Amino acid sequence: MLGITWAEASTRVSGTIEVRTRDTARHTWSTWLRLDGDSGEGERGASRGGTTPAWVGPSDGVQVRMSSGASRRLPEGLRLDMIDPGGTTSAMEPAGFLMDPVDPTGEADPTGPADATGTADATGPATTDAPADTASPDPSSTRTSGPSSGPTDSAEPTRTQTQPSTGSASPSPTVSAPDPASPTATVPPAPPSTAPRPPITSREGWGADESISPEEPGYLPGGRIKAVVLHHTATSNDYTCAEAPALIRAVYAYDVQQLTWKDIGYNFLVDKCGTIYEGRKGGVDRPVMGAHAYGFNSETTGIAVIGDYSGIAPSKEAMTSVARLAAWKLGQYGVDPTGTTTLTAGASGPNYFRQTWDAGTRMTLPVIHGHRDGYNTVCPGDAYYAMLPTVRAWAGGTVEGLKLDSVTGTGVSGTTVLTDTAVTVKWSASTPAALVRQYDVLVDGEVAATVAGTASSAEVNLAPGTHKVSVRGVHQSGRTAITEDVTVLADPAPALTPPAATTTPTAKATTPAATVSPTSPASPTAKATTPTPTASPTTKAPTPADTTPPVFSTQPNLALRTGTVSTTAVPLTLKWKATDTKELKEVRLTAPVARTYGPTVTSASLTAKSGVATTWRMTAYDRAGNARSASVSGTPVILQESAATRTGTWTSKSSSGYLGGKSYSSSTKSSSLTWTFTGRSAALVVSRAATSGQVYVYVDGKKTATVDLRTTTTKYRDAIWATTWTAAAKHTVKLVVVGTGGRPTVTTDGLVYLK
């Protein structure tokens, strides 16, 4: 692991800092890796600033290049810090230094190329140190300029710090001034939590060398955690989970021995396999003061996922562990993971979204938020930041995506089931099982069976007659979600045996699960294996007198809806209504995806690819096996903001988060964008943040809505407003900037219409 540090902890580098390394096995140079020029200034009293560290793996050569950026000056006391967390000593010494020409004032030429292959003193003349002058620095030769709250820089800022292991000495002694906001005299209690504690690997487990951070831990001044700040370490994703302890040891050494913090900055770390590690010492069950969110350390705990999640999201295993850990820590203090909280800024500053505040300002933030919400950093990466709503829901919401997949008895599946007295109920959910307390099978609203959160099926016995069956998921937070009811007709009469034997192949596959239930009074397996052919697998209860098929009293139709838009997933609502003269059994969506809906369901939230004509086919079935089909076709079309007629002042913005990579932004009141199209539904797509303003929406020249783009959680490609007409026709949709006081800016990302 390596990083670049400099003399002042508060110094920011506005230019670029890049490194590349030579692999010890292949002897080839890597591509240039850009380092974040600010480590986060996480520890009060730290004597050095620096970049985020980079894990580069086994290497025997390194090159660094950096430019000063807008400041026109490189920071003083530059040093390349290299760390080997494996405990072996290796002579890592610079081969030389190079700096671009400087003007007589000592300032680097801003017009010249920034291609230094090492570090240099920005205030002195250009120098080139020969290899013979690059001996490892001697700690005894370090000069100081008088008393200070922390160690001062070495007299030779261009020398490389060799750090062979987490326990090796460093020229910069690990001493930092006490944090006035973190008392250490009294150890606060470890309150019980409303959520279960996940497994946590101790500091001893990842090999922390306690000798390099002898200071006592500090604790939050209020004694309680109000929020969880999520981070990524910005190191490589190319590591095995067995290497995770080495990465943590390297981060620990960098924070303590190079940045001169008193301990590793994060309270907890999580690897991509979901293993949770104790970070800063003081007790995982206590409110330990970390150094992870400058200005907001005194009321928060920090969780970092090891890796760089700018372009890819963390693994489900990592996100599950983050959600479990956040729920447990917040549950100790009765804080809702899905809510918001008010934090008092301990220092002035801006965040990533250009929101600024002064020290002492009370800030409203999501209880679980990203580092960028409270500091000007890209952390925890764009892809991870977009997943924060999912982490919040997993930590403290209901059981997400819960649906009843099937109810099987004697081999008949569907939303209306004919059976004897035993049915097997199967369900699925998107919330990880580790966050689900239990599932309850409800029969006529009463609990008939309870199974663990890891289960996905259960068997229940029914009394003769008609029943309503559903599944309730109980999240570890206590919040519940319930599926739609399924009608089940239980009748143990022998006359039901012949139809029961006409099982479909799918039903046969599900019935073996019924044999494992100790509550089953009969053997469904024996029934399922009776090979009686059938001409119609949909015929469940033959009623020869009923030959009238169902009808679609409301033909299937499509409409755009709100939600996140992408070229492969435009949010749609499919609506219909089917009826039958006797009893409607179910409605099946057969294309482009397969879904089965109960007789009372009349709509579904779906997505479709943009620019692709898609036909949605549905078939309604009644209890007698009669069927009727219907379909609807539509093509979602994305119109970029550049396709609109513009008035006023608009600025083009570029980001991979926008549709097509660009968007338009305006803070000028009455600036407008107008789209004209032929279709039957439309939706406005915008980007939203806490500082976003409002827009007026005009449809065919008439003002129809005032839409507020403000949101506590930043969102990209968000369809925030939608409308639908009874038939396709030519329409115009116009967006007008309101010029909201204090937050006039709106950022649009186009319009979607349904052709």
| Residues 460-514 pLDDT 10s | 888 888 889 999 999 999 999 999 988 888 776 533 333 333 333 333 333 333 3
Pick the closest to residue 313 from 321, 301, 305, 303 (CA basis): 305
pLDDT at res. 339? 93
Give the residue, 209 or 541, on which the prediction is more confident. Answer: 209
Q: What percentage of the chain exceeds 70 in pLDDT?
A: 77
Say if CB 60 and CB 37 are below 8 A apart. no
Decide: pTM greater than 0.85: no
Question: d(Cα 208, Cα 278) in Å, to the nearest integer?
Answer: 10
pLDDT at res. 415? 55
pLDDT at res. 73? 79
Average pLDDT rounded to a whole number, residues 18-24 = 90
* Mean pLDDT estimate for the chain: 79
Secondary structure (3-state) at 357: strand
Q: What percentage of the chain exceeds 90 in pLDDT?
A: 49
Query: Does residue 119 carry a pLDDT above 60?
Result: no
Query: Does residue 169 carry a pLDDT above 50?
Result: no
Query: Does residue 88 carry a pLDDT above 80?
Result: no
Model confidence at 93, in pLDDT bands (50, 70, 90)?
Answer: low
Q: CA torsion 372→378→381→387, rounded to 10°?
A: 30
Query: Does residue 539 carry a pLDDT above 90?
Result: no
Least confident of 7-21, 165-179, 222-236, 410-424: 165-179
Query: Does residue 12 carry a pLDDT above 80?
Result: no
Which amino acid appears at position 191 of this protein? P
Query: Does residue 206 carry a pLDDT above 90?
Result: yes
Q: How many helices (H) and strands (E) does the chain have?
A: 8, 42
Question: d(Cα 228, Cα 655) in Å, to the nearest integer?
Answer: 27
Query: Does residue 535 carry a pLDDT above 50?
Result: no
Model confidence at 410, in pLDDT bands (50, 70, 90)?
Answer: low
Say if CB 709 and CB 693 are below 8 A apart. yes
pLDDT at res. 326? 97
Model confidence at 453, in pLDDT bands (50, 70, 90)?
Answer: very high
Which amino acid appears at position 8 of this protein? E
Query: Does residue 368 carry a pLDDT above 70?
Result: yes
Q: What are the residues facing 228 on neighbouring strands?
A: 301, 368
Model confidence at 87, in pLDDT bands (50, 70, 90)?
Answer: low
Question: What is the phi/psi pair of residue 393, to 5°?
Answer: -65, -40
Query: Does residue 182 carry a pLDDT above 90?
Result: no
Say if CB 119 and CB 4 are below 8 A apart. yes
Give the residue, 197 or 593, on which the prediction is more confident. Answer: 197
- Residue whose pair of structure tokens reads 């030769």 in the numeric block: 141
